[in-house]
Amino acid sequence: MVSAAANVAPPLCEAQLHNWKLLGQFQQRLAPRLARAGASAAADHQLTASDYLSLQLFALLNPALKSARSLCAASRFQRVQQEVCRQPVKLASFSEMQHLCDPELLAGLLRELGQESTVTVGKLNCSSNGSNASWAVATGWLNPRQA
């Protein structure tokens, strides 16, 4: 007989998160794209498009982040707030941004970066044609909808 506790995932810890250095360059390149697109914050103003897309990239870079809930849990870590998003993210704000933020902003930037080099980032191998970034948008992987 398997106990219910055996099916519970261990709690997320900051030591499981990696690839911090890639975020700074990504965020520098993202800022002008967001300005051109006129991207804004969610209605409660707690999550900006930059924070949301940075969280999405961070999920691509970190296989431990498997859901919107895990991203929101990770946003409570001090280093995540310093380097990825400004403050803890509520699941409702994250969900709202899924509908407000164009995933092509992230996919386009991933394609651009992929054309510069072939890099494996977590679950995504960005090749010179950027096809995996397109796949991520087409399949909805950039917009996970978890309960």
Q: For residue 121, what are the β-bridge partners?
A: 124
User: Diameter of the chain by CA atoms?
Assistant: 57
CB burial class (10 A; 0-12, 13-18, 19+) of residue 111?
buried
Mean pLDDT of 23-46: 77
Three-state SS for 86? Answer: coil
Cα(123)–Cα(94) distance, integer angstroms: 21
The per-residue pLDDT for 68 is: 92
The per-residue pLDDT for 9 is: 62
Tens-digit pLDDT profile for residues 82-135: 999 999 999 999 998 888 888 888 888 888 877 775 545 555 555 544 444 544
The per-residue pLDDT for 79 is: 95
Cα(52)–Cα(143) distance, integer angstroms: 11
Cα(143)–Cα(103) distance, integer angstroms: 7
Tens-digit pLDDT profile for residues 61-84: 899 998 999 999 999 999 999 999
Q: For residue 124, what are the β-bridge partners?
A: 121
- The answer to whether the CB of 73 falls within 8 A of the CB of 12 is yes
The overall pTM is greater than 0.85: no
Tens-digit pLDDT profile for residues 10-21: 688 899 998 888
Tell me 6's DSSP state.
G
The per-residue pLDDT for 65 is: 93
Phi, then psi, of 56 in degrees rounded to 5: -60, -45
